[in-house]
Structure 1
Amino acid sequence: MTLESERLQLQEISWDDLSEIHTLHSYSEVDKYNTLGIPKDIEETKEVIRPLIAAQKSENRKSYFWKIVIKNTKEFIGIAGINLSLNKFKLGEIYYKLLPSSWGNGYATEVSKALIKSGFEDFKLHKIEAGVSTENIASIKVLEKSGMTREGLRRKILPIRGEWKDNYHYAIVEDDPMDY
């Protein structure tokens, strides 16, 4: 499954993307609000993406993970994903990470909107959620520009570098105004 936006393409990952994903996860700037932590080596990154690649063959798939590339150059700029709930709830959670060199170009908002659009149109979801550290101002702006509403605060839920951080809970439902 491939997703597209005006300037970007989201392509399902393969083992060929291991090195680029490892590099992305190795940036301290990317890790600042990330619960994953900086991998100690490429083998650790391999173990993180192994279940995401294996999920591609699952009949009742609940997890999608894409690399983000610029359409006209095929340059890798990040990753994105959506996790789906049980069918009864019609709920999905989106996430994204971009290389620092790609920040400030509107790519994260473009990715977020593409994920939301796919969630409603392809996966027929009722609600799409995202969590964000209360300190991550840039990502908060992305979610709000994508049409999501802050629904609440989850206190001390994110384990980031040995500290428990607060998380804002954002969501959009299928009958909210859409801008994608």
Structure 2
Amino acid sequence: MTYQSTRLRLAEISLGDLDAIHHLHSFPEVDEFNTLGIPSSIDETKEYLTPLIQAQKVTPRKSYFWKIELLEASAFIGIAGMTLSSDKFKRGEIYYKLLPNYWGKGYATEIGRLLIRVGFNDFNLHRIEAGVATENVKSISVLEKIGMAREGLHRKILPIRGEWKDNYHYAIVEGDLKDN
């Protein structure tokens, strides 16, 4: 299951991506708003990755985890994912992480738009959601650029480095963006 935008490709992850994903999660800047924490070893990253790969075989499928690659170079630049609700609610939650060298180049916005397009067009969702730490101003900006609206605050919900942090809740519903 592969998807493309102008400059990026989403491709299903495999154990062959273990080193790249471990490298991504090892950056303190990436970890700043991450509830996983920096992995202590590649084995810890493998423990995290294995169920995500196994979920590719589950029917009906409820979770998707992709590597993000630059189209022109097939270079790994991050990860993205979507978790689906039961069919009745037609809802999905998106997330993404990029290597710091690729921040500030419009890739997060591009991947966010692609995730929304895939959610509405390919998964037939009615609603797409995202959570973001209230202090993560860069991701807040991305979510607002891609047309998501802030709907609320979840107080003290994110366990980050021994502290409970607040989280904004964002969403977009089908029809909000006519050009997606």
Q: TM-score range by the shorter chain?
A: over 0.9
Q: Is the 8 A contact 1:66 1:81 kept in 2?
A: yes
- State TM-score, norm by structure 2: 0.98
Q: 2:144: which partner in 1?
A: 144
Matches of 1:147 and 1:179, distance apart in 2: 11
> Could you say which residue in structure 2 is the equivalent of 1:176?
176
- The one-letter code matched in structure 2 to 1:104 is G
C-alpha separation in 2, matches of 1:54 and 1:117: 25
User: Does structure 2 retain, via aligned residues, the 8 Å contact 1:21–1:78?
Assistant: yes
TM-superposed CA distance for 1:179, in Å, is 4.4
Distance apart, 1:3 and its partner CA: 1.1
Unmatched 5+ residue regions in structure 2?
none
**1:44 to 2:55 alignment:** no
Per-residue deviation, residues 23-82 of structure 1 (Å, max 9, x unmatched): 000100000000010011000000101111001111211000000000010011000000
Distance 1:59 1:84 in 2: 12
Partner of 2:161: 161
Aligned to 1:124: 124
Amino acid at match of 2:129: E
Distance 2:94 2:61 in 1: 15
Residue 177 of structure 1 deviates from its aligned partner by 2.2
How many residues align? The count is 180
TM-score, normalisation: structure 1: 0.98
- Aligned partners of 1:109, 1:40: CA distance in 2, in Å? 30
Query: Which residue does the alignment assign to 2:78?
Result: 78
Equivalent-residue separation in structure 2 for 1:137 and 1:179 (angstroms): 25
**Counterpart code for 1:142:** V
Alignment partner of 1:33: what SS? coil
Taking a change above 3 Å as real, the CA distance of residues 178 and 21 of structure 1, as seen in their structure-2 partners, is farther
Counterpart code for 1:119? G
Q: CA deviation at 1:20?
A: 0.2
Is the 1:147–1:179 Cα contact (8 Å) retained in structure 2? no
C-alpha RMSD of the superposition: 0.7
Aligned to 1:99: 99
Give 3-state SS (helix, strand or coil) of 2:35's partner: coil
How far apart, in 2, do the equivalents of 1:50 and 1:110 lie?
Answer: 27
Q: Following TM superposition, where does structure 1 have runs of at least 4 consecutive aligned residues deviating by more than 3 angstroms?
A: none
